[in-house]
Amino acid sequence: MEQILLTETILEARRTLGNALLVLAHHYQRDEIVEVADYRGDSLELSRKAAVSGARWIVFCGVHFMAETAAILAKEGQRVLIPREDAGCFLAHTIDYPTLKELWRRLAEVMDPEREVIPVAYVNTTADVKAFVGEKGGACCTSSSAEAVLRWAFSQRPRVLFVPDQYLGRNTARKLGIPEEEIVVWDPHSPPERMDTFAEARLILWRGTCNVHVRFLPEDVYRVRREHPGVRVVVHPECRPEVVELADDVGSTSYIIKTVSSSPPGSVWAVGTEERLVARLAKENPDKEVFSLAEVPPFCSYMSLTRPADLASILEGLLRGEERNGVEVPPEIREPARRALARMLDITHSG
Ligand code: 13P
Ligand code: SF4
């Protein structure tokens, strides 16, 4: 079907389903998706929207862990559907429940993790990882809540296990003034023979990164500063700490959008995050110069999967009374995972 027809199909379905439907879209989604959504936002904003929504169906245009988060927070009778079930996340794939349990078991060689360690999981994880964290009294976080959640975590127990994004963990730790020598990294592919160094650590990081944000390098910051005098550099906290150190500002996808959009006309911005967001930001701010920090701007291939035809087919299904691609989380995982998410929402309530 042609693009215009598909958009019309989506808008017509939205009109028919009215308040029973909420369409959410992450900022990295294609323009054609973002334009027909009820709401676009960063991970925290979208999970808040999902948590307070009274809609019967939430159609989540994003990656799987985001829709799963909405499903965990959903109310009785509410259903979350995802247009592309194969929309994963490179970062979420770096961690799994058995390996996380194995790390916990190894920590017990040198400390009492139940009393000494509080786990914090970035929302870019599967429900069972969130459930583990919830069971151990920990919390989830997003890029915009990481600082508040980490601060809270250190007020609960002397050590924090932060999974799976080592860069978000380190960047946030730097903000909190945690010295490098108190941070250790657990490499799930090459676990240490001895756990001695972990005994001294205050912050244990999982060795995971996002394939998209890892592409921004310190050389990019030097290059844009050379080529564009007066440029301001804003990056996502999933970027390498060396890049974040050199940048002028750092924050979530929504923070980046607000920062650039509210800057004076004529401002020049190099942006270190996914390219669809950067290209849209440039289009929406014609009075500014906005471009990617990287010479070859990186796309998130998982976020790119969702096309208007996928969304249209989910909505047409609903019109026929079919719930296609419903996101299911078994109750024994859902309850502890919900506790970890609820803690994050409580901690960031005023944010
Ligand atoms: P935000 O929470 O900043 O939207 O980030 C989500 C994400 O996956 C970034 O890669
Ligand atoms: Fe996951 Fe990276 Fe894509 Fe974000 S940009 S959804 S962290 S793979």
* Residues 161-202 pLDDT 10s: 999 999 999 999 999 999 999 999 999 999 999 999 999 999
**Percent residues over pLDDT 90 in the chain:** 96
Q: What's the chain's average pLDDT?
A: 96
Query: Are 2-88+303-320 and 92-210+335-350 equal in CATH topology?
Result: yes
| d(CA 209, ligand 2 centre) in Å | 9
Q: What residue ranges line ligand 2, CB within 6 angstroms?
A: 63, 89-91, 124, 210-212, 238, 274, 300, 302-303
Give the pLDDT score at 44.
87
| Domain boundaries defined on the chain | 2-88+303-320, 92-210+335-350, 213-292
The arithmetic mean of pLDDT across residues 136-159, rounded, is 97
> What digits encode the pLDDT tens for the residues 317-343?
999 999 999 999 999 999 999 999 999
Looking at domain 213-292, its CATH architecture is: 3-Layer(aba) Sandwich (3.40)
Give the pLDDT score at 351.
44
| CA atoms within a 13 Å half-sphere pointing along the CA-CB vector of 135 | 14
Please check the confidence at residue 1 and state whether its pLDDT lies above 70: no
Q: Say if domain 2-88+303-320 classifies as CATH 3.40.50.10800.
A: yes
Q: Of ligand 2's atoms, which has the minimum distance to the CA of residue 89?
A: 1
**Percent residues over pLDDT 70 in the chain:** 99
Q: Say if domain 92-210+335-350 classifies as CATH 3.40.50.10800.
A: yes
Give the pLDDT score at 349.
80
Q: Using CA positions, which residue lies closest to atom 3 of ligand 2?
A: 300
> What digits encode the pLDDT tens for the residues 289-322?
999 999 999 999 999 999 999 999 999 999 999 9
Alpha helices in the chain (DSSP H): 3-17, 31-34, 43-52, 64-73, 97-107, 113-116, 127-135, 146-156, 166-175, 196-200, 218-227, 241-246, 253-261, 275-284, 308-319, 331-347
